[in-house]
Amino acid sequence: MLRPRIIPCLLIHKGGLVKTVKFADPKYVGDPINAVRTFNEKEVDELIVVDIDATRNNHEPNYKMIANLASECRMPLCYGGGVNTIEQLERIIGLGVEKVAISAAAVYHPDLISQAARRVGSQSVVVVIDVKTAGSSRRPEVVTHNSTRRSGLDPMTFASRVESLGAGEVVLNSVDRDGVMKGYDLELIDQVRNVISVPLTVLGGAGSHTDLSDLVRRHGIIGAAAGSLFVFKGKYRAVLINYPNRNEKDAICSSRP
């Protein structure tokens, strides 16, 4: 039986694990490998790891780091950051990563999506759509390069397009809610969910198990991803890797409509 997925998202900056707020001011929170080992023990559903330096600085993916993460990871792993070619994507899959996420490349080189779907299968091709309200209209817009470049693209239109090109999953990431921990952008999620049929994972804003439950109650089978929720604890945001225990997870997943 299919169930909602509860997914920690780890951000890598200068080789370390960090957390950002609205894609800015990265705060060091630990060693990525240690975090993966802890999440192994907690039996998480899936893990997303994003190198936030690679695309912005036009760097190749750090294959040694990816190989180390993949060798430690006991759950499905999705890696993103710096992937611009089919050769890079295939090399990452060859390191033992189940899914490869592309973001800027999906905007500027959308043919990569269809190439990747043919070569490694749609199930391994994830498109991350970073969305920020921009301009005087305050309309949601797809942004890239850690929100430093505006694309002019409407998120709903873009989500529909990447599905038609062969993306097997969409990760919808709200820049405005990143690290704020005040709840997901449910309206934006509704709009994107209504135009695609592939699996959807959402990121940006989760600050409590209630936020996860509210999302699952609204959308059922969905990926509920979070960063701050799983690396901070308490009102003072002390660094502590955490994840719902079995009973908590069952309660969240039973919120399905």
Complete DSSP assignment for 98-120: SEEEESHHHHH-THHHHHHHHHH
Tokens of 84: 């611009």
- Band of residue 134 on the pLDDT scale cut at 50, 70, 90: confident
Candidates 3.40.50.720, 3.20.20.70, 3.30.1330.20, 3.40.50.300; CATH matching 5-253: 3.20.20.70
The pLDDT value recorded for residue 44 is 97
Domain boundaries, the chain: 5-253
Distance CA 244, CA 17 (A): 20
Which two tokens mark 241? 């890797």
Residues 42, 45, 46: CA angle, nearest 5 degrees: 110
pLDDT of residue 138: 81
User: Considering only CA atoms, which of 205, 234, 109, 91 is closest in space to residue 165?
Assistant: 109
Stated pTM of the model: 0.96
Question: Is it the case that residue 135 has pLDDT exceeding 90?
Answer: no
The tens digit of pLDDT for each residue in 221-256 reads: 999 999 999 999 887 788 999 999 999 999 999 877
pLDDT at 1 over 80: no
Instruction: Please identify which of the residues 53, 130, 185, 211 carries the catalytic annotation.
Output: 130
130: annotated active-site residue: yes
**C-alpha–C-alpha distance, residues 218 and 239, integer Å:** 30
